[in-house]
Amino acid sequence: MNCIRLVLAALTILLTAGCASLDTASRSSTTPADEQYAAITDLSTHVPPSSSGRPGNGTTSEHHDFWETLRQGFRLTGQEQAAVVKRAAEYGRYPRQVEKIFNRGEPYLAYIYEEVKKRNFPTEIVLLPFVESSYDPFAYSHGRAAGLWQFIPGTGKMYGLKQDWWYDGRRDIVASTQAALNYLDYLQQRFDGDWLLAIAAYNSGSGHVSRAIKRNRKAGKPTDFWHLQLPKETSAYVPKLLAISDVVRRPSKYNVVLAPIDPAPTFTLVDTRGQLDIAIAAELATVDTESLYLLNPGFNRWSTHPDGPHQLAIPTAKSAVFEENLAALPDDQRAKWVRHKVNKGETLSGIAQRYNTTVGVLRNTNVLKSSNIRIGQHLLIPVAAQDASRYAALAKHLQPARASSNKVTHRVHSGDSLWKIARQYDVTVSQVTRWNRLDGGALIKPGQQLVIWKKGKTSASGKRLRTVNYTVRDGDSLYRIARKFNVSITDLRRWNNLPKGKYLQPGQHLKLYVDVTQLSA
């Protein structure tokens, strides 16, 4: 690290957060959009991010209004439908929440727009992550959908997304966006250019939509989206997109103030030519670690993947200095490795636990055919280059709640509002919304129960926690659910006040707190 400081001594991000379904890997019965908070890619079919192969290399123009440019590409119809009008009005009741979601998406919106425009898609597609994930790259649903575009593991793998201990491509901004657009392109072609049907199929799977069309044809009914009998969630999904599009089209009508956004992407992809510690990369780019991580949310660990992708999204204004400093960085300081000598009584699993890694990583790194090790043997172990607190800070503002906090169930009374409830418990409206998976425009009703996490002791573990509302299915058990979400049975019982010896019932609702970086190992 001293060498790195010497390299940087003479040198000096600005950054402000429905599952896609294939018929072979269909989504669960509740949309992540309803839970307030998707991502696929086929790397072999990527459309290049720009003519130079990098997002963010275009010329920035302060004279162009991003939102007006976005509106010019709107071409979906149906804003007059009752479901759309109702949803838009609900968004209008909570304009500050709408603004917060768009502020979260600010680092990603210009890039998504560029890619949508290249394909000549309706630019309302840029707003689809508003519905899917609220522009939260760490969004995670009970159906195990992840990222801005909310894709489940199986679908992600089908589209070439790597998911392992080091990296989850479903959360990679560039990879997930390219893949989601690939999938949407396939769907709109399948449905003869009918974008409302394509968007509905993105939510429920093309099979559901095709079968609904066949039923209507057989009955002599119209086959447009508005006349199809689709799952309830899908019937609400398309109106949500059209509603938020109308909010963007006429923000003053809904009392929404859309903050100015630079029309040029905020980041540039830089080839790192190998594994690189994220904290070291932040020093090289002269930005803070957390900001850099939010541009590269696909990485589960303190470092980029040893086997690639060997690229990082760097703030465009810092890309030149990053490349210059990276070129001057000695190879042996790109990531830190410890040489561990095996002592008597040690096991590979014990060593992995000691260094906060996994047996699989140690076996791969040291080319071990099994987990058997011998006394005196040396193992090469990847570790973080800086103090753990540097990496823990990455996710501090992303955590919805701590399991160690004091959980309170608040019953909504007549006259209550999210603002009033938040003030009562000394929390924010955003936190209440996130903990209870409410839409930005959701209404609360007397008798409704809300979960509140009062301030308590916090952990510095650096976990990226997300609350998951899970509905018990036939055949489920605590063991099966715990294994599925990589949590303990003890925690499941504690979070849900489940007595020992009592069996789960289909339809029962459970609340889980999962670390999204631990779900693709």
Strands (E), 261-420: 267-271, 311-315, 336-341, 378-383, 406-411
Query: Whole-angstrom Cα distance, residue 206 to residue 235?
Result: 14
pLDDT above 90: percentage of residues in the chain: 44
Based on the fold, state whether residues 405 and 371 are members of the same structural domain: no
Based on the fold, state whether residues 346 and 373 are members of the same structural domain: yes
Query: Whole-angstrom Cα distance, residue 155 to residue 161?
Result: 9
CA distances from 84 to 24, 87, 289 (A): 30, 5, 41
Based on the fold, state whether residues 293 and 375 are members of the same structural domain: no
For residue 248, the enclosing domain spans 43-254
Assess whether pLDDT exceeds 80 at residue 202: yes
Residue 3 lies in a domain: no
The pLDDT tens digits for 255-293 are 999 999 999 999 999 999 998 988 889 989 999 888 899
The pLDDT tens digits for 458-478 are 333 446 778 888 999 888 888
Residue 389 lies in a domain: no
- Residue (of 167, 160, 148) closest to 108 by Cα position: 148
As a whole number of Å, the CA-based R_g of the chain is 24
Which CATH number is 360's domain given? Answer: 3.10.350.10
How many CA atoms within 13 Å lie on the side-chain side of 499? 2
Residue 474 lies in a domain: yes
Question: pLDDT category, 455, cuts 50, 70, 90?
Answer: low
Q: Which residue is catalytic, options 132, 233, 283, 290? A: 132
Which CATH number is 223's domain given? Answer: 1.10.530.10
Based on the fold, state whether residues 110 and 207 are members of the same structural domain: yes
Q: Output the six-digit token pair for 355.
A: 């260094």
Query: Whole-angstrom Cα distance, residue 281 to residue 336?
Result: 13
Query: Whole-angstrom Cα distance, residue 252 to residue 140?
Result: 32
Question: pLDDT category, 392, cuts 50, 70, 90?
Answer: very low
Residue 185 lies in a domain: yes
The predicted structure's pLDDT at residue 307 = 84
Comparing 335 with 175, the larger pLDDT belongs to: 175
Residue 449 lies in a domain: yes
Residue 109 lies in a domain: yes
Query: Whole-angstrom Cα distance, residue 137 to residue 516?
Result: 10
Based on the fold, state whether residues 370 and 454 are members of the same structural domain: no
Contact (Cβ atoms closer than 8 angstroms) between residue 202 and residue 21: yes
- Residue (of 51, 234, 166) closest to 226 by Cα position: 234
The predicted structure's pLDDT at residue 47 = 31
Based on the fold, state whether residues 164 and 74 are members of the same structural domain: yes
Residue 356 lies in a domain: yes
Based on the fold, state whether residues 416 and 490 are members of the same structural domain: yes
Based on the fold, state whether residues 249 and 292 are members of the same structural domain: no
Assess whether pLDDT exceeds 80 at residue 48: no
Residue 147, φ and ψ in degrees, nearest 5: 90, 180
- Please count the structural domains in the chain: 4
465, β-bridge pairs? 515
Preceding peptide of 315 cis, ω within 30°: no
Query: Whole-angstrom Cα distance, residue 236 to residue 228?
Result: 12
Assess whether pLDDT exceeds 90 at residue 434: no
Asked which of 384, 414, 444 is the last residue of a domain, the reply is 384
Preceding peptide of 239 cis, ω within 30°: no
Against a cut of 0.85, is the pTM above it? Answer: no
Based on the fold, state whether residues 311 and 446 are members of the same structural domain: no
Residue 390 lies in a domain: no
Based on the fold, state whether residues 144 and 279 are members of the same structural domain: no
Stretch among 82-86, 144-148, 190-194, 251-255 having the lowest mean pLDDT: 144-148
Catalytic: 62? no
The pLDDT tens digits for 68-87 are 999 999 999 999 999 999 99
Contact (Cβ atoms closer than 8 angstroms) between residue 167 and residue 39: no
Based on the fold, state whether residues 182 and 87 are members of the same structural domain: yes
The predicted structure's pLDDT at residue 94 = 95
Based on the fold, state whether residues 328 and 345 are members of the same structural domain: no
- Start-end of H helices in 195-314: 195-204, 206-218, 232-249, 278-285, 289-295
